Structure 1
């Protein structure tokens, strides 16, 4: 069993955008309960998050964007960023901790720092809110404020003496923010599968060697998803030879999820994670950092995260 770190913080559940918003604290509650009942939680190295610092944020975002979020962060009440993304009193803290978890996870799988020395941890899962993959260099959107996986990838390139990182995004929504940040950076390969047409209605196809977009029609089945991902991702990853794999782990392509219309099953998340683990064993010494993105049917989300973690831990 691979040693796997699990990053969490109570602040992630203090962030809320209202009782009816799908990106709710109940998501992490459901995941925690499921992992406790399954017994997986006791086999994980549980780690409390720390906030990302200014330099880490500036790797992926402009100073203007970072300062804007600090300026509009309310002491009380709310500040709407867009129709479905709102700054609340605890949002900034949670967003900083989410980004910080991702950079800590990179340090963890590379054994950097005294706290990770000789622990042999090669995998990490960041159970974070808010998610990040819609956040572009200059724009918060789609429930996202800072792009957690982008910050993690750039932190790894800067501090871990590697040259190639792959970000694999199987959320039902296109990872537009991650593509926006890396479309002109050949050090990072971004593979994104997503339902089309569906929010955010951009970056459906990008003419870059390092950006692999895999649009899927509504009602795509397990078999169709697996065939599409294998066909579009696997050879490109084998050619790219990533030294670190980062996952944007969204579970909202599940057939029960209310925000989309793909028909994936829980076992598909085990399958796609197994595939990623196989690639990581060959090219990145097993190193994988996974960050929670979407997933809004609580039971399906919790079961899918369990399947994902079970595969990561092998």
Structure 2
């Protein structure tokens, strides 16, 4: 398999300040691990540009886009909530990150690469239409899903979010649509930020049934995640038969993560990736773009990403035993 990579050193310039968990060292750890493992040299490093105003406006109003820009230029320490720390260049970097994800989906659709991993920051799955939340400024994955429908003519796109936190932004940006399936498996909202993602949240209007939330109790391990995927998540995706799969790849469900309360191992992340990739091979010609979200223990993050990317790079998974172990 040919796997593309979206990465730029400019992502390190998004300065969240001392002690903030979403820090530049996260990407430094990922890059170092990919280089040490030999994966870095095997990846197809894709050139990309910032998202355009027109692309952002599909899901975010211009007054919000302007407000993010103005807050950064003014030197404000955060926007909307203290968690969403910003620096002078953060708006430009967030637009670059969104553009990178859009470029990755384009590269996969055009056959330049088979799939891609986006090592970007700031993350995006908590960003609401006109409000920043949880370190996120723009809805990177949601924008990519919308583009796959609008620009590339697909009829069904699936998003699989395995971050420990519910992807409230992605859900709310897309929950009225029936052509985009959003699946989020996360620590139960009774115990974890942002307090959304209950099982009864299944979409609205035309999108009723196209949102699947699978909240798991604190302390859930590989066995619990395996059951969730085999019994609930994979059958839902299989029935939807997506033509493209997007990962919101958060690695903060790992045992060592300081912000999560779960016990997923590196092998667990690998198994999730392999199971979903089997479905993508079956329904979507193997078309996957994975986008970094959370993960705040540097060693666990780096190891998890290497395992995840190594599965994307594997050849011949086939996908005939998608519900297997």
TM-score bracket, shorter-length normalisation: over 0.9
What is residue 195 of structure 2 aligned with on the other side? 201
Q: Give 1:37 deviation, angstroms.
A: 0.6
Partner in structure 1 of residue 262 of structure 2:
262
Q: Which residue number corresponds to residue 24 of structure 1? A: 23
Contact 1:133-1:147 at 8 Å conserved across structures: yes
1:225 corresponds in structure 2 to 225
Q: Distance in 2 between matches of 1:246 and 1:147?
A: 13
The answer to whether structure 1 residue 54 and structure 2 residue 48 are counterparts is no
Q: Which position in structure 2 is the counterpart of 1:156?
A: 148
Q: Following TM superposition, by how much is the alpha carbon of 1:309 offset from its aligned partner in structure 2, in angstroms?
A: 0.2
Q: Does 1:292 align with 2:286?
A: no
Deviation at 1:77, TM superposition (A): 5.3
Q: Secondary structure at the match of 1:97?
A: helix
Shift of 1:70: 2.0
- Quote how far apart the aligned CAs of 1:246 are: 0.4
Regions of 4+ moved over 6 Å: none
* Aligned CA-pair RMSD: 1.2
Give runs of aligned pairs for residues 79-118 of structure 1, distance below 5 A: 79-111=78-110
Alpha-carbon distance in structure 2 between the residues aligned to 1:75 and 1:122: 41
1:140 aligns with 2:132: yes
1:310 counterpart residue number: 310
* Aligned counterpart in structure 2 of residue 175 of structure 1, from 161, 167, 179: 167
Q: Give the number of equivalent residue pairs.
A: 306
Partners of 2:229 and 2:165 in 1: how far apart? 15
Tell me, which stretches of 5 or more residues in structure 2 are unaligned? 203-207, 315-325
TM-score by length of 2: 0.92
3-state DSSP of counterpart to 1:105: helix
Following TM superposition, by how much is the alpha carbon of 1:262 offset from its aligned partner in structure 2, in angstroms? 0.2
- Residue 64 (1) aligns with residue 58 (2): no
Structure 1 Cα separation of the partners of residues 11 and 283 of structure 2: 33
Aligned to 2:235: 235
Counterparts of 2:59 and 2:169, CA distance in 1:
10
- How far does the alpha carbon of each residue in 1:209-251 deviate from its partner, in whole angstroms, 9 at most, with x for none? 1000010100111101111122221111111110110000000
Report Cα offsets for 1:234-289 as digits up to 9, x if no partner.
11111111011000000000000000110000111110110111001111111001
- Mark the runs of 5 or more structure 1 residues left unpaired by the alignment: 112-117
Tell me which residue corresponds to 2:13: 14
Q: Distance in 1 between matches of 2:85 and 2:259?
A: 18
The SS at the match of 1:55 is helix
1:49·1:98 contact (CA, 8 Å) conserved in 2? no
Measure the CA separation in 2 of the matches of 1:210 and 1:305: 28
Q: Supply the distance in 1 between the matched residues of 2:271 and 2:67 (Cα, whole angstroms).
A: 40
- Aligned partners of 1:133 and 1:177 also within 8 Å: yes
**In the alignment, is the contact (CA less than 8 A) between 2:197 and 2:215 conserved in 1?**
no
The 2-side partners of 1:237 and 1:91 are apart by: 35
Q: What is the match of residue 38 of structure 1?
A: 37
Q: Give CA-to-partner distance per residue, 1:22-52, whole Å, 9 cap, x none.
A: 0000000000110111000110001243100
